[in-house]
Structure 1
Amino acid sequence: MEIVLPDSGLRLVPRKIICVGKNYARHAAELNSTVPEEPILFLKPPTALIGSGGTVLLPPQSREVHHEVELVVVIGREGKRIAEEEALDYVAGYALGLDMTARDLQQKAKEAGYPWTVSKGFDTFAPLGPLVSASAVSDPQQVRLRLKVNGVVRQDGTTADMVFSVAQLIAYCSKIFTLQPGDLLFTGTPEGVGPVHEGDVLEAESDVLPPLRVDVQRA
């Protein structure tokens, strides 16, 4: 899936989808987990991306796939070891996204001490809404995130509750990965995650970002 960087119009296939786990304290609590002392990162492949209007495919390997609504950051220029106070200068835009998670597979992996890659990386497991320019979001720490499943609100939170801010996440990630134009950073989800089923319609909404709508089918 190609994305178009706001303002520049540059068309790119993201090389990296960097995701953050347990970045909201109440979400960590609902998973019976502790708040991390530093960001927990994992990756999704670019084949996980679908756009608004697409279909999330439930894989045959899992019987419990959960929704997680998130603020997504789009990187606009290359950077390495970025200072936190300069981090937002590297943002080209923002969007709503969903980090779909095969929770049963994730739990099994956790119990065995294995990575989460399988539970997070299936095709269609990274729905991405329309992008807006970074200038359209005056403060990424004041963004409302809401997710409806079949018209019923499941998640309703704000990025003000993040454990690690967008600037902190960019600075931290850039110490590990060289950030490149088109890279996507899924910044974590507020509480209220839950299962989805075949036939469901998921609608992510925000006060400052365009909506994201996908349906759910069994692969």
Structure 2
Amino acid sequence: MKPFLSIRALRSGYAGGVVLHGVDLDLQAGGIIAVLGRNGVGKTTLMSTVTGFIRPYEGSVMLDGRETAGSRVDAIARAGVGIVPQGRRVFAPLTVAEHLAIATRRPTTGPWTRERVLRLLPRLGERLGHRGDQLSGGEQQMLAIARALLANPRLLLLDEPSDGLAPAVVAQVGEVIREVGAEGMSVVLVEQNLRLAFSVAQEVAVMQKGRIVHRASCAEFQSRPDDRRRLLGVD
């Protein structure tokens, strides 16, 4: 079976500098993979390259058999790639309702409507009139997830969604990821929180120095503390 997402020999970086040194990564349709690694190994660069914010120097990104490497951000979004970026990138002066209106401005076909998103994330429904700078960190993260879901992507990328959040909010993020996965959406989760990663993903891929150096099922990786210490520096 051909993978839904197939990344091959991807080289990318900034201002001529190389961060990704030939990344290979596959993901089957409906799969959830956690990309792990220490800070500075290229995880966010990988997300930015897949979404088109960074143009790769070399390599291929195939989405459901279609080459997207080097395409414009809007073309990649239309192909079915959505992202919840690191840092949330909520617009401070816009209300929650205005964020959701912008996200639904381009009609899409799929199960994720404004009404369904608000059922999944009821706190946003209570905060529709609040500006982005009036939301807590957890509420901003929920808004970032809602924006991405309203585009009805086939591939959802989440870059450090637990960063700076309270444990209860992290647990809610996990519930959302499991629900979209159960719907058949493919998910790439970049995460430092191993508890969250192991609770939602079927597989892990570990990055070091701009390369994928290890891949295993979550169950296998959890059962091998020596691998976690060697690759991540944690027990």
TM range (shorter): under 0.3
Bigger relative contact order, structure 1 or 2 (CA pairs below 8 A, ≥6 apart): 1
Structure having the larger proportion of residues in helix: 2
TM-score (norm 2): 0.21
Structure (1 or 2) with the larger CA radius of gyration: 2
Give the structure-1-normalised TM-score.
Answer: 0.22
Higher strand proportion (structure 1 or 2): 1
